[in-house]
Chains A and B, each alone.
Chain A
Amino acid sequence: DAGVTQSPTHLIKTRGQQVTLRCSPKSGHDTVSWYQQALGQGPQFIFQYYEEEERQRGNFPDRFSGHQFPNYSSELNVNALLLGDSALYLCASSFRLGANYGYTFGSGTRLTVV
């Protein structure tokens, strides 16, 4: 049973560029949440997708956008990259109506903006 998979694992981008990160949820999960984890900090909630719609959003600018596909996979897009966007981006999946409410995290994408 595959867990949450994210790609790429590492990425280096230049300021001002755009980046797309991808996530495939765990089998049986239908909800995908994205988190940004800066070095030495806890994960910060970016947004959550369910039924191909953004359901809730954290305190992140519009430069951060996403999408969920019919197969439940998801993309995170960041435009006009800033140095401060350098972080580990974590995708977490869950089953909306499941008895187990915990998220399953992917290994993350390490984004470095130079």
Chain B
Amino acid sequence: GENVEQHPSTLSVQEGDSAVIKCTYSDSASNYFPWYKQELGKRPQLIIDIRSNVGEKKDQRIAVTLNKTAKHFSLHITETQPEDSAVYFCAASTVPSSASKIIFGSGTRLSIRP
């Protein structure tokens, strides 16, 4: 069945350093890959997404890369700041479709050390 694997499950980096979270997906039909940030007790919030016709997308300190052949995609956060501490979820979906659903990874707890 459809599956998204995410690693690492926890990540601790020094403030100012970079953080990388990696995911793999199983469904070859997946063509939309969003990333969500969830702070403690809050809702998941979309921070960046990428579609399968693009290999890389950047938004300020955040970038995502996609290797469709290998079914890998990654989130890169540069110049990390304390407010980046949260749980990050990768996800995969097939859109547009008549009934799209988003399959989430298990999450990465990112901690930024001052």
Contacts and interface: CB of A to CB of B under 8 A. Distances in A.
Interface in B72-113: 89, 93, 95-96, 98-107
Interface stretch (A21-29, A37-45, A68-76, A78-86): A37-45
A3 B35 CA distance: 19
Contact of A48 (B46, B89, B99): B99
A106 B44 CA distance: 8
Contacts of B36: 105
A61 interface: no
Contacts, number: 57
Interface residues of A, number: 26
Nearest to A41: B106
B45 interface: yes
A108 B96 contact: no
Interface string B1-41: 10000100000000000000000000000001010100000
Given A40-B107, A101-B34, A105-B45, 14 more contacts: A42-B89, A42-B105, A43-B44, A43-B89, A44-B104, A45-B103, A59-B1, A101-B32, A101-B49, A102-B46, A104-B46, A105-B43, A106-B43, A107-B43
Interface of B: 1, 6, 32, 34, 36, 42-46, 49, 89, 93, 95-96, 98-107
